[in-house]
Amino acid sequence: MSARPAAGGGRWVDVAPERLSRWLENFAARHGPWIGDGLLLTAADGATAELVPPPGAPPVDDLESLRREADAVRRIGLLLARKGAVAVGVAEGTKLVVSKVDTHYVQGRTAAGGWSQQRFARRRDNQAKAAAADGAGIAARLLLPEVRGLSALVTGGDRTAVESILAAPNLRPLAALRAERFLDVPEPRRTVLEEAAAQARTVRILVRDP
């Protein structure tokens, strides 16, 4: 379970489906008994918790339906990209059934000025484009054959890098499955992809204290 600040106040908490009941018990222990209005829970002391279903789950409007859908095993596509690294996979529940990690050199920014800065910027731009093309190729090979069986595509890493990959015209069927959730992950590696598979199935909860 992880927590991070939310825009507008409060904090986001990611809870694995199998830990949701315990989390709700602890929420009540900390803040008092709660009442539910759809997926918004309000505790006795005024604290609130708003639950968001995991990617790929159908819309639900009550807690019991959310529990049921969160527990369901789905096939989720994963696309993580940052700088020149890309990780692509298909997860069934928490298990990776298809995966590929690749790196492509992209030069860092330079503090040089004038002509040198422009030359390095052009080189860096060309390297980034090549990395995006390679990433799109990997996504096409691994994910397009699976696209009809995927409940969602979950992305993460660097938004610019991900957008560059999904801009490839042949990936439109994949981009159409993209979930709103975007994972904050370090440079993609096999272990990062495995962690993302678990994170992609969590229930997100927006907690606001009284």
CATH code linked to domain 75-199: 3.30.420.60
* pLDDT at 158 (0 to 100): 95
Q: How far, CA to CA in Å, does 106 sit from each of 90, 125, 208?
A: 26, 8, 40
Q: In 3D, which of 75, 100, 105 has the Cα closest to residue 86? A: 100
Given a cut of 90, is residue 29 above it in pLDDT? yes
Q: Full-prediction pTM beyond 0.85? A: yes
Cα–Cα distance, 207 to 10 (Å, whole number) = 5
What average pLDDT does this structure show over 118-142? Answer: 77
If one counts every other C-beta atom within 10 angstroms of the C-beta of residue 97, the result is: 12
Residue range 42-89, pLDDT digits in tens: 999 999 999 999 999 999 999 999 999 999 999 999 999 998 899 999
Residue identified by tokens 């908490």 is 13
pLDDT at residue 133, as a whole number = 87
pLDDT digits (tens, 9 = 90+) for 2-23: 678 898 899 999 999 999 999 9
pLDDT at 108: 54
Kindly tell me if the per-residue pLDDT of 115 is higher than 50.
no
Domain positions in the chain: 2-72+202-208, 75-199
What pLDDT is recorded for position 129? 75
